[in-house]
A and B are shown apart, each in its own frame.
Chain A
Amino acid sequence: MNADIARLAARTLLGQRRTLLVVLLALVPVLVATVFRLAAGADADPGLFTARDLLAGLVVTTVLPLVTLIFATGAFGQDIEDGTIVYLLATPVPRREMVLTRVLVAWAAALVVLLPSTLLAGAIAIESADPAIVLGFLVGVAAGAFIYTAAFTWLSIATGRALVAGLLYVFLWEGTLSGLFSGIRFLSIRQYTNGIAGAFFDLPGDAWSPRLGPGTAFLLAALAAAFLLSLAVRRLERWQLGESA
C-alpha cells in the first residue's frame, strides 16, 4: 500500500462526475425495500424477499457489479486516458504496489456506498425475519466487491474501453449466462458472492439457495481475487505508452 498513490486515487475518484451516479444507484435498493415494506401483502415473506429478490436479485446482480465497475475503471482509466499515468510509472515504485493500492482505494470507495445501501435496504425489508440474512449479504457483498474491483481494474489497464467491456461482462456473463448454465457458477463472481452470503443463514425449503456451497465459494473467490490481481500487475508491468490512447 502506497499512501501517496492512495491519496491521489481517492482525489481522482472523488473528482469524477460518475461518482454521483454511483450514489444514485445505491439508493435504488433502499427505495425498493421501502416500497416492499409499504405495499407488500399480508402473505409476503420478508425473509425470502430480502434474500432472493432484494439482496441476491437486485444488489448482488446489478448494483454491486455496476458500482465496482464505475469505481474500478476510474482508478487507472482516467490516468491512462489523460496521460498522467506516466508520472506514476516513471518512478521506481513496484507495479504490484500501484495496483494493490488502487484496488484497495476503489474497493474502499465501493464499500462506502455498497455496505450502507445493503444494510439499510435489508433492515427496511427484513421485518421480523432472520437478521443473519443481511449480515450474510454484507459479508458476501464485501467479498464480491473486492473480486469485481480486481477484475475491472485489470480491464481498465488492458483496454481503453473498460466501461463498455465491463458492462458487457456484467450483463452477458454474470447477468444472463451464469443463470442459464449451471457450470458457469464456478466462474461467476455473482455466484461466489451468493455462496459466501449463504454461509450465514438458511431459508426454509427450496425457496432460495446459493448455487455454490460456502467452502467452495470462499476458495474460488480467493483464487479469483489472486488471479485477477496478478493479471492486473502483469498488465501494468507491460503497459505501453500510446496503446490505450
Chain B
Amino acid sequence: MSPPAPPAIELRGVSRWYGNVVAVNDVSFEVGPGVTGLLGPNGAGKSTILHMAAGFLRPSAGEVRILGEPAWRNPGIYRRLGLVPEREAVYGFLTGRQFVELAARLHRLPDPGAAAARAIARVDMAAAADRPCGGYSKGMKQRIKIAAALVHDPQVLILDEPFNGADPRQRLHLMDLLRRMAAEGRTILYSSHILEEVERLADTVLVMVAGRLAASGDYRQIRALMTDRPHAFTVRSSDDRALAGRLLAEPAITGIAFEDGHLEVRATALLAAARALPVAAREAGVTLYEVRPTDESLERVFAYLVRR
C-alpha cells in the first residue's frame, strides 16, 4: 500500500518572532484541497503565516512544508505553488500580457504565450491585457497578479488579501474563479480580515488572533460559536429606568447595567435581543434614542473565540 499523500500545506509548531515581538506563536495546522480562509484582525499574524507558507519567510521555530517539501529555501516548490502577494506593485512598463508571459517563461513553460492567454482569460482580463499594467486599477492589478500566479497551473495557490481593491463585480468573479479552481482539486489558502468574504467562499477557516491559531475547521461550526456568545448593546432612551424594568422580563436579556446616562444591556442571542428591544420600549411607553452594539468588532469576536 502506498503511503498517504502529504498535506498540501502543513505547519508544525511554527513560531516567528522579530526581536522581542512574537508575530506567530506555536501554530500548527494542515490544509488540504478546497478553499481555506485565513481570518483574523489586522496584525494577527496572517501575512506572516502566508509568507512562511510561501517560502518567503524563515520560521523562527517549527516546520513549514508544501506538498511534503520544506517551504524555506526551496525554489523547486514554486513549480507546484502560486503566490499572489498583498502589495499591488506590478511592473508598470509591461502590459498585462507581457507580465503574465514573463511568469510563464520564468516557469519554463513549453508555450508561454498560450499559457498566458489561458490565465488571462481565466481572470477575465483579455480585453485589457495589451495595456500597460501601470494604468490598471487596483482590482485589475489584483487580477493580473492572480493570472501570473496561475499561469503554470499550480496545485497550491496562496493569496494574501486577494479582494483588496476589487469592486463588487470583480470580487464575485474572483470568488467564482477560486471556487472553480478548488472544485478542480486544488488547494487554495487566502487571507482576509473581512468575515463576510470568508463566509461566502471558504469551506474551512483558520482564525488567527494575536499570533495564535484561535480556531480552525468548518466555517459553520465556528460561526455558531460566534453567534452563541453574549452580545452587549448601549441603549439610550427617554426613560432608561422604565425600559430596564421591562427588559428584565425578556428571556433573551441576561443583564442590565446603568452607566453614565445610558444602559448597558447584555443578551444571549443577537436577533432575539434585537426583536425584544423595540417591543419592550413600546410596552413601557419609552422612546428609543440609540441602540448600538458595543462589542461587534472582529477583534472582539476573535477575542471571544480565544477565551473559549
Spell out A's residues near B (CB within 8 Å). Answer: 2, 4-5, 8, 11-12, 15, 82-84, 86-95, 237-238, 240-242
The residue that B106 contacts in the complex, of A12, A88, A238, A242, with Cβ under 8 A, is: A88
B103 within 8 A of A: yes
CA distance A163 to B251 in the complex (A): 68
Q: Can you offer 7 A-B residue contacts whose CB atoms are under 8 A?
A: A4-B105, A11-B93, A15-B93, A87-B99, A91-B75, A91-B78, A242-B57
Chain B residues in 8 Å Cβ range of A238 = 58, 73
Q: What is the count of residue pairs linking A and B with beta-carbon distances less than 8 angstroms? A: 67
Given contacts A8-B102, A84-B89, A86-B83, contact A242 B73 (CB under 8 A): no
Q: Which single residue of chain B is at the shortest CB-CB distance from A81?
A: B89
Encoded as 1 (CB less than 8 Å from any A CB) or 0, chain B from 73 to 97 comes to: 1011011011101010111010000
* A8-B85 in contact (CB<8A): no
Q: Report the bound CA distance from A209 to B91 in whole Å.
A: 48
Interface flag for B51 (CB, 8 Å): yes
Whether A91 lies near B106 (C-beta < 8 A) is: yes
Contact A95 B75, beta carbon cutoff 8 Å: yes
Q: Establish whether residues B103 and A87, one from each chain, have CB atoms under 8 Å apart when the complex forms.
A: yes
- Name the contact of B51 in the complex, choosing from A91, A95, A242 (C-beta under 8 A): A242
Q: Give the distance in Å from the alpha carbon of A12 to the alpha carbon of B89 in the complex.
A: 14
Cα distance A4–B83 in the bound complex, in angstroms: 20
Nearest A residue to B79 via CB reads: A92
Q: Please, how many angstroms separate the alpha-carbon atoms of A123 and B289 in the complex?
A: 89
B56 at the binding interface (Cβ < 8 Å):
yes
Q: Which are the 3 A-B pairs with shortest beta-carbon distances?
A: A83-B87, A241-B56, A91-B106
**Is A91's CB under 8 angstroms from B56's CB?**
no
Chain A hits for B51, CB < 8 A: 240-242
Give the shortest distance, in Å, between B155 (CB) and chain A (any CB). Answer: 14
* B90 CB contact (under 8 Å) in A84, A93, A242: A84
* A94 partner residues in chain B, CB cutoff 8 A: 75
Query: In the complex, which residues of chain B have a beta carbon less than 8 angstroms from the beta carbon of A2?
Result: 106
Contact pick for A240, options B58, B75, B82, CB 8 Å: B58
Bound together, the chains give a CA A242 to CA B21 distance in angstroms of: 15
When chains A and B are docked, how far (Å) is the Cα of A15 from the Cα of B134?
13
Which of B57, B73, B81, B91 contacts A241, CB < 8 Å? Answer: B57
CA distance in complex: A8, B102 (Å): 9
Identify the B interface with A (CB < 8 A). Answer: 51, 54, 56-58, 73, 75-76, 78-79, 81-83, 85, 87, 89-91, 93, 99, 102-103, 105-108, 148-149
CA of A95 to CA of B56, assembled, Å: 13
Using CB atoms, name the residue of chain A closest to B154. A90
Contacting residue for A92 out of B91, B99, B107, CB 8 A: B107
CB distance from A19 to the nearest CB of B (A): 14
Looking at B75, B85, B99, B106, which has the most chain A CB atoms within 10 Å of its CB? B106
Q: Which of B89, B93, B107 lies in contact with A91, CB distance below 8 A?
A: B107
Of chain A, the residue at the smallest CB distance from B101 is A4
Find B91's partner among A84, A93, A95 (CB 8 Å cutoff): A84
Q: How far is the CB of A85 from chain B (nearest CB, A)?
A: 10
A86-B85 in contact (CB<8A): yes
- Asked if A92 meets B85 with Cβ closer than 8 Å, knowing A11-B93, A87-B148, A242-B51, the reply is no
CA distance A87 to B93 in the complex (A): 15
Given the interface contacts A92-B76, A238-B73, does A8 sit within 8 Å of B91 by beta carbon? yes
Contact of B89 among A5, A82, A241 (CB under 8 A): A82
Nearest B-chain residue to A2, judged by Cβ = B106
Assembly CA distance A84 to B91 (angstroms): 7
Question: What residues of B have a CB within 8 angstroms of the CB of A89 in the complex?
Answer: 56, 75
**In the assembled complex, which residues on chain B have CB atoms less than 8 Å from the CB atom of A240?**
51, 56-58
- B85: contacting residue among A12, A83, A91, A237, CB under 8 A: A83
Taking the closest CB of chain B, its distance from the CB of A34, in whole angstroms, is 37
Smallest distance from the beta carbon of B203 to chain A beta carbons, Å?
25
Contact B75 A92 (CB under 8 A): yes
A8 neighbours in B (Cβ, 8 Å): 91, 102
B107 cross-chain contacts in A, Cβ below 8 A: 91-92
Chain B residue, CB-CB nearest to A237: B73
- Chain B residues within an 8 Å CB radius of A88: 106
| A residues in contact with B83, CB < 8 Å | 86, 90
In the complex, chain B residues whose CB is within 8 Å of the CB of A12: 91
What B residues does A15 contact at CB under 8 A? 93
Chain B residues with CB under 8 Å of A11's CB are 91, 93
Considering only CB atoms, which chain B residue lies closest to A83 in the complex? B87
How close is B135's CB to chain A, nearest CB, in angstroms? 15
Given A87-B103, A90-B82, A240-B57, 19 extra CB contacts under 8 A: A2-B106, A5-B106, A8-B91, A11-B93, A83-B85, A84-B90, A86-B83, A86-B85, A87-B91, A87-B148, A90-B56, A90-B149, A92-B107, A95-B75, A237-B73, A238-B73, A240-B51, A241-B51, A242-B57
